[in-house]
């Protein structure tokens, strides 16, 4: 896997996977979205803004969308309503998206919802941004207040091992 600027960011597309992604992008409908998934801190929002700008597309950050619709931060939703309720709220709002020809940066927990993932996949191409655990640990200094769906006592290492296989589903 190729490293970019020694920041731990990896291009995870092997040759066969890269060729499949290129082929999927060529076959994608003209209004197809580009959907970014991955762990919290992987750079979905940052890459999404840059990609949208480079491709002259709209940009949607589902975390910001949820916060605007709910009138609360993600952490407030989790603290007040609980993890399961947050996941239901996230699923409802992601499934309600009506955008086309956009770049969509999802929340890291979207992979817990088969319905939300199916909706995103039906609207475009899913790209998984992969960042190794040591790089995530350096980036995520605000994990307890960031609005990350984590079970009681769960640390980043356990979250990483739980979520990463789901992202490839």
Q: Is residue 93 part of a domain?
A: yes
Predicted local distance difference test score (pLDDT) of residue 18: 58
160's CB contacts (< 8 A; 6+ apart) are 39, 133, 136
| pLDDT tens for each residue of 64-112 | 999 999 999 999 999 999 999 999 999 999 999 999 999 999 998 999 8
Cα-Cα-Cα-Cα torsion 147, 145, 133, 18, nearest 10 degrees, comes to 30
**127 located within any domain:** yes
26 in any annotated domain: yes
Count of beta carbons in the 10 Å neighbourhood of residue 113: 18
Give 68's Cβ-side CA count (13 Å radius): 8
Angle between helices 74-81 and 83-96 (to 10 degrees): 130
Query: What is the rounded average pLDDT of the residues 17-33?
Result: 67
**pLDDT value of position 137:** 87
pLDDT of residue 26: 57
CATH number at residue 29: 3.40.50.300
pLDDT tens figures, 107-163: 989 998 999 999 999 999 999 998 888 998 898 887 777 778 888 888 888 888 887
Query: In which domain, by residue range, is 108 found?
Result: 2-131+154-167
85 assigned to some structural domain: yes
Report how many domains make up the chain. Answer: 1
């Amino acid at each position: 896997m190729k490293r970019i600027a020694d920041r731990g960011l990896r291009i995870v597309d092997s040759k066969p996977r890269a060729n499949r992604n290129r082929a999927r992008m060529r076959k994608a409908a003209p209004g197809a979205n580009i959907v970014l998934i991955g762990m919290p801190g992987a750079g979905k929002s940052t890459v999404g803004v840059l990609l949208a700008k480079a491709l002259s597309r709209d940009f949607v950050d589902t975390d910001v969308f949820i916060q605007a619709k709910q009138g609360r931060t993600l952490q407030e939703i989790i603290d007040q309503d609980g993890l399961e309720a947050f996941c239901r709220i996230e699923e409802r709002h992601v499934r309600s998206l009506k955008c086309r020809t956009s770049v969509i940066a999802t929340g890291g927990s979207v992979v817990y919802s088969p319905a939300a993932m199916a909706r995103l996949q039906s609207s475009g191409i899913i790209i998984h941004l992969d960042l190794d655990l040591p790089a995530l640990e350096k980036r995520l200094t605000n994990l307890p207040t960031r609005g990350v769906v984590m079970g009681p006592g769960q640390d980043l290492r356990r979250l990483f091992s739980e979520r990463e296989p789901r992202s490839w589903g």
